[in-house]
Amino acid sequence: MEDELEDRVLHQTYLSCMKILSRFSSSVALDTPTSYFWKMVRLYLLRSEVLIFTFGIVVVFMYLQTIGLWSRTLLSRLSHAVNPINAVQRMKLMEGSDADKQSWELKGSLSAVYAIRGRRMHMEDKFIINENINDTGISLFAIFDGHGGDFAANYAQEHLIQNLYNKVVELSAFKDGKLPETPKNESPDEHKKEERENNISVERKSSFKKSVSTADDTSKKEITDPQLLAQLNKARPITREVRPIKPVKNVSVPLSSYILKGKINYGKLLTDEVLAADQLLVEAAKRSMNVAGTTALIAVLEDNNLIVANVGDSRGVMCDSRGNAIPVSFDHKPQQVREQKRIEAAGGYIAFNGVWRVAGILATSRAMGDYPLKDKNFVIANPDILTFNLEDHKPMFLVLASDGLWDTFSNEEAVKFIKERLDEPDFGAKSLTLQAYYRGSVDNITVLVINFMQEKYTTATLTE
9-40 residue pLDDT tens: 777 777 777 666 666 555 545 556 676 676 77
DSSP state of 296: E
Cβ–Cβ < 8 Å for 265, 175:
no
Length of the chain: 464
Q: Does the structure show a pLDDT above 80 at 143?
A: yes
Cβ–Cβ < 8 Å for 260, 162:
no
Q: Does the structure show a pLDDT above 60 at 239?
A: no
Can you give the pLDDT at residue 80? Answer: 42
Task: Establish if 95 belongs to a structural domain.
Answer: yes
Task: Establish if 333 belongs to a structural domain.
Answer: yes
Report the C-alpha gap between 84 and 96 in whole angstroms: 18
Cβ–Cβ < 8 Å for 382, 276:
no
55 — pLDDT class (breaks 50, 70, 90): confident
Task: Establish if 328 belongs to a structural domain.
Answer: yes
DSSP state of 422: T
Percent of the chain whose pLDDT exceeds 90: 52
CB proximity list for 287: less than 8 A, separation 6 or greater: 243, 245
63 — pLDDT class (breaks 50, 70, 90): confident
192 — pLDDT class (breaks 50, 70, 90): very low
Task: Establish if 3 belongs to a structural domain.
Answer: no
Q: Does the structure show a pLDDT above 50 at 79?
A: no
Q: Does the structure show a pLDDT above 90 at 232?
A: no
85 — pLDDT class (breaks 50, 70, 90): very low
69 — pLDDT class (breaks 50, 70, 90): low
The CATH number linked to 167 is 3.60.40.10
Q: Does the structure show a pLDDT above 60 at 411?
A: yes
Highest mean pLDDT among 48-62, 176-190, 271-285: 271-285
Task: Establish if 360 belongs to a structural domain.
Answer: yes
Report the C-alpha gap between 187 and 437 in whole angstroms: 54
Tell me the C-alpha to C-alpha distance, in Å, between residue 193 and each of 174, 199, 249, 257, 356: 22, 10, 12, 21, 43
Q: Does the structure show a pLDDT above 60 at 356?
A: yes
Report the C-alpha gap between 459 and 438 in whole angstroms: 33
Q: Does the structure show a pLDDT above 60 at 75?
A: no
Sign of CA dihedral 327, 331, 337, 338: positive
Task: Establish if 237 belongs to a structural domain.
Answer: no
Task: Establish if 393 belongs to a structural domain.
Answer: yes
Q: What would the pLDDT profile of 104-141 be if each residue is shown by its tens digit?
A: 999 999 999 999 999 999 999 999 999 999 999 999 99
Task: Establish if 368 belongs to a structural domain.
Answer: yes
b/e for 176-214, b at 16 or more Cβ within 10 A? eeeeeeeeeeeeeeeeeeeeeeebeebeeeeeeebbbbb
Average pLDDT over residues 232-242: 40
Average pLDDT over residues 267-271: 95
From 415, 429, 389, 391, select the one nearest 327 (Cα to Cα): 415
Can you give the pLDDT at residue 226? Answer: 53
**Residue 142 lies in domain:** 87-176+250-451
From 112, 158, 165, select the one nearest 423 (Cα to Cα): 112
Can you give the pLDDT at residue 11? Answer: 73
Report the C-alpha gap between 400 and 314 in whole angstroms: 8
Tell me the C-alpha to C-alpha distance, in Å, between residue 175 and each of 136, 185, 300: 12, 20, 17
Can you give the pLDDT at residue 350? Answer: 94
Q: Does the structure show a pLDDT above 50 at 76?
A: no
Q: Does the structure show a pLDDT above 70 at 388?
A: yes
From 129, 131, 162, select the one nearest 143 (Cα to Cα): 129
Q: Would the pTM of this model clear 0.85, i.e. be above it?
A: no
Average pLDDT over residues 238-264: 63
Tell me the C-alpha to C-alpha distance, in Å, between residue 340 and each of 137, 207, 337, 345: 40, 40, 5, 8
170 — pLDDT class (breaks 50, 70, 90): very high
Can you give the pLDDT at residue 174? Answer: 84
Q: Does the structure show a pLDDT above 50 at 60?
A: yes
Cβ–Cβ < 8 Å for 446, 117:
no
Sign of CA dihedral 42, 47, 52, 58: negative
Domain count, the chain: 1
Work out the mean pLDDT of the chain and round it to a whole number. 78
Pairwise pLDDT comparison (229 vs 242), residue with the higher score: 229
